[in-house]
Amino acid sequence: MNIGAHVRGGGSLIPSLEAGAALGATSIQVFVQSPRMWKPTQYAPEVLEAYREAQRAHPTITHTFCHATYLINLASDDPALLERSRTALAHNLRVGRLMGAAGVVVHLGSHKGAGFDPAVAQVAQAVQGALDAAESVPGACPLLMENAAGAGGTVGRSLDELEAVLEATGRDERIGLCLDTQHLFASGVDYATVARARALIREVDRRFGLQRLACWHLNDSKTPFGSNRDRHANLGEGEIGADGLAPLLGHPAVRNLPWLLEVPGDGDGPRARDVEAARAIHAAGQLLYQRPARHRPPHQGEHHD
Q: How far is the CB of 262 from Zn ion (least distance, A)?
A: 5
Residue 266 CB burial class (10 angstroms; 0-12, 13-18, ≥19): exposed
For residues 298 and 250, give the distance between their C-alpha atoms in angstroms, rounded to a whole number.
Answer: 19
Query: Per CB under 5 A, which region of 20-28, 151-159, 175-183, 271-279 contacts Zn ion?
Result: 175-183
Query: Per CB under 5 A, which region of 21-29, 201-209, 227-235, 240-248 contacts Zn ion?
Result: 227-235
Query: Per CB under 5 A, which region of 25-33, 84-92, 132-140, 230-238 contacts Zn ion?
Result: 230-238
Q: How far is the CB of 150 from Zn ion (least distance, A)?
A: 11
In terms of CB distance, is 65 or 116 closer to Zn ion? 65
For residues 140 and 52, give the distance between their C-alpha atoms in angstroms, rounded to a whole number.
Answer: 12
Q: How far is the CB of 216 from Zn ion (least distance, A)?
A: 9
Of positions 64, 144, 169, 180, contacts Zn ion by CB under 5 A: 180
Q: How far is the CB of 295 from Zn ion (least distance, A)?
A: 36
Give the footprint of Zn ion on residues 260-299 (CB under 5 A). none
DSSP line for 78-121: -HHHHHHHHHHHHHHHHHHHHTT-SEEEE---B-TTS-SHHHHH
In terms of CB distance, is 180 or 220 closer to Zn ion? 180
In terms of CB distance, is 93 or 194 closer to Zn ion? 93
Query: Per CB under 5 A, which region of 24-32, 33-41, 160-168, 179-187 contacts Zn ion?
Result: 179-187
Q: Under a CB-based contact definition with an 8 Å cutoff, are residues 29 and 47 in contact?
A: no
Q: Is 220 in the site for Zn ion (CB under 5 A)?
A: no
Identify the H or E element spanning 214: strand 213-218
Q: How far is the CB of 230 from Zn ion (least distance, A)?
A: 4
Q: How far is the CB of 28 from Zn ion (least distance, A)?
A: 14
Pairing mode of beta strands 232-233, 213-218: unpaired
Of positions 91, 97, 212, 217, contacts Zn ion by CB under 5 A: 217
Q: What is the DSSP letter of 154?
A: B
In terms of CB distance, is 55 or 181 closer to Zn ion? 181
Q: Under a CB-based contact definition with an 8 Å cutoff, are residues 69 and 32 in contact?
A: no
Of positions 161, 163, 220, 230, contacts Zn ion by CB under 5 A: 230
In terms of CB distance, is 91 or 217 closer to Zn ion? 217
Q: Under a CB-based contact definition with an 8 Å cutoff, are residues 237 and 155 in contact?
A: no
In terms of CB distance, is 52 or 147 closer to Zn ion? 147
Could you tell me the sign of the dihedral formed by the alpha carbons of 298, 225, 240, 6, in that order?
positive
For residues 280 and 271, give the distance between their C-alpha atoms in angstroms, rounded to a whole number.
Answer: 15
Identify the H or E element spanning 213: strand 213-218
The 3-state secondary structure of 230-296, one letter per residue:
CCEECCCCCCCHHHHHHHHHCCCCCCCCEEEECCCECCCECCHHHHHHHHHHHHHHHHHCCCCHHHC
In terms of CB distance, is 45 or 267 closer to Zn ion? 267
Query: Per CB under 5 A, which region of 137-145, 154-162, 178-186, 247-255 contacts Zn ion?
Result: 178-186
In terms of CB distance, is 161 or 230 closer to Zn ion? 230
Most distant CA pair in the chain, distance: 60
Query: Per CB under 5 A, which region of 115-123, 124-132, 216-224, 267-275 contacts Zn ion?
Result: 216-224
Contact residues for Zn ion, defined by CB under 5 A: 180, 217, 230
